[in-house]
A and B are shown apart, each in its own frame.
Chain A
Amino acid sequence: MSKEIVVPFGPQHPVLPEPLHLDLVVEDEKVKEAIPGVGYIHRGLETLVQKREYPEYVYIAERICGICSFIHGMTYCQGIETMMNVEVPERAEFLRVIWSEYSRMHSHLLWLGLFADGMGFENLFMDAWRLREHVLDDMEATTGGRVIQGSAKVGGVRRDISSEKLDEMVTGLEGIRGELKDMMDVFLFDSSVKSRLRNIGMLSPEDAYELGAVGPTLRGSNVASDVRMNGYAAYDRLHFEPVVEDGCDCYARCAVRAKELFASIDLIKEAVQKIPDGPIEVKVTGKPEGEYFSRAEQPRGEVIHYVKGNGTRNLARHRVRTPTMANIPPLVKMLQGCELADVPVITLTIDPCIGCLER
């Protein structure tokens, strides 16, 4: 006779580098229900707006997450700039796109590596991280930081990239594209990888939409939704189409991330071609008043920075809705009815970032 038992998954688990806890109600090796438990690394960053003035808070906003740090900083800056009616110079907007896309490549390569490791494919893991190193090198050479870039600023960006360096970056990316193609042959066409991912962790387009999934989790379920389509920063001047897959399973989500890598390379190349000369920042004076809902597309999905100013140099409120937060209900749905052995792989496919989730 079968019996229901509860298997604790995490908070420390070999496949998850971060502390997420799931209580899995299991019957006959099948997961009946998954109950998430969060709150292990809450840092209270949002409260810091009362202590740090709005220009200095960018550094705190960047430190919400180590992977999409630039995009966090940029989204916060966009919120403040809109509130204060600041016109950002065009060059700064293109530079923001370039660094955002580099962050996306860095995050997706990191995820592909971790994912391969989660499946037990060590060689692929090392290969993905070797490629990621080139991306990180370019980031450090242009911003000064490998992980925390610190280049976003209210009113523009803090550093410029010379045209020689931009050309060099494009040449480097072409080399990466070649190597990525070889790697993707394994990720997308290898039979052992396919058998591990196909028809696992199903999330129908209706469920994905209703449960509020974002990013590759949503696009892997055949819903073409991407905040970059709204044309923030300089995306409206670039040719952009969201990557969509219709598999609705783990394989589709993996494929979306893999194909977005190529899309990012194309976007960077186009941005380098179109980048105008000119200043990279404008001086911002005054105190923010009003409120704004700033949205941007992170590697993991849509991020929202809600900022509210009260006419002083400290904001009244800052609230972040991160993609992992939005992807937890879809994850719970995906885990219902899956095999216990598939739980790590399914959990990894939403690319959980607990640092972002709890702030």
Chain B
Amino acid sequence: MVYFKMAKTAIKSLIHGPSTIRYPAEPAKQYPTSRGHVTIDPSKCISCGMCMRKCPADAICVRRDEKLWEIDLFKCHVCNCCVEVCPVHCLTMETEYRPAFAEHEGVQVVKITYVKPEKKAVKKPAEDKSEE
């Protein structure tokens, strides 16, 4: 009898509290893998521009001369590609979603503070090259 079977569902719904959450009063569920938004550690970025070249949405712009890293949050579709390609792992994907914006203020500019460590220059003698 289908009515009895439906009664089971109806009674379950009556006893069980609501399945929904009172978002945004209660935070949404997040997991360690959730893709929320991209953040950068400006002290590590070597301005190689890899993230800019690989970003499928053209959301990142690296201005090497001015040492600026720019992301347009409205263009970014949170694919995690830039995080994967960054050679020095200075980009991270935070699990928290960005809040809503009322106006177009999505462009975030970060000043890169990376300082190239000094290396002891080991120069090869010029004769080596001429031999090749």
Contacts and interface: CB of A to CB of B under 8 A. Distances in A.
A191 B31 contact: no
A59 B34 contact: no
Contacts of A137: 29
B80 A144 contact: yes
Contacts of B13: 123, 127
A229 to B, nearest CB: 32
Interface in B47-106: 54, 56-57, 77-81, 84, 93
Interface stretch (B1-9, B37-45, B108-116, B117-125): B1-9
Contact of B56 (A60, A133, A143, A183): A60
A277 interface: no
A130 B6 contact: no
A185 B5 contact: yes
A59 B84 CA distance: 14
A182 interface: yes
Given A59-B77, A59-B79, A150-B80, A140 B56 contact: no
A133 B19 contact: yes
Interface in B12-36: 13, 19, 29, 31, 33-35
A312 to B, nearest CB: 16
Contacts of B29: 137, 140
B35 A144 contact: yes
A59 B6 contact: no
3 tightest A-B CB contacts, nearest first:
A144-B33, A185-B5, A59-B56
11 contacts: A56-B81, A59-B81, A140-B31, A144-B34, A144-B35, A145-B34, A158-B80, A158-B84, A182-B5, A182-B9, A191-B2
Give the interface residue-count category, chain A: 20 to 34
Contacts of A123: 13
A349 interface: no
Contacts of A56: 54, 56, 81
Contacts, number: 59
A123 B13 CA distance: 10
A186 B6 contact: yes
A52 B81 CA distance: 13
Most buried by B among A123, A137, A141, A144: A144
B35 A127 contact: no
Contacts of B80: 144, 150, 158
Contact of B33 (A60, A63, A159): A159
| Majority secondary structure of chain B interface residues (helix, strand, loop or mixed) | loop
Contact of A182 (B8, B19, B34, B35): B8
A72 B6 CA distance: 37
B86 to A, nearest CB: 15
Interface in A138-162: 140-145, 148, 150, 158-159
Nearest to A161: B33
A93 B83 CA distance: 24
A148 to B, nearest CB: 8
B9 A183 contact: yes
A186 B79 CA distance: 39
Interface in A144-201: 144-145, 148, 150, 158-159, 182-183, 185-186, 189-191
A112 to B, nearest CB: 14
Contacts of A144: 31, 33-35, 80, 93
Nearest to B33: A144
A189 B8 CA distance: 15
B94 to A, nearest CB: 12
Most buried by A among B8, B33, B77: B33
Contacts of B31: 140-141, 144
A142 B31 CA distance: 9
A235 B80 CA distance: 28
A67 B121 CA distance: 55
A134 B33 CA distance: 16
Given A60-B56, A145-B35, A186 B8 contact: no
Nearest to A145: B35
Interface string A54-94: 00110110010000000000000000000000000000000
A140 B33 contact: yes
Contacts of A59: 56-57, 77, 79, 81
Contacts of A191: 2
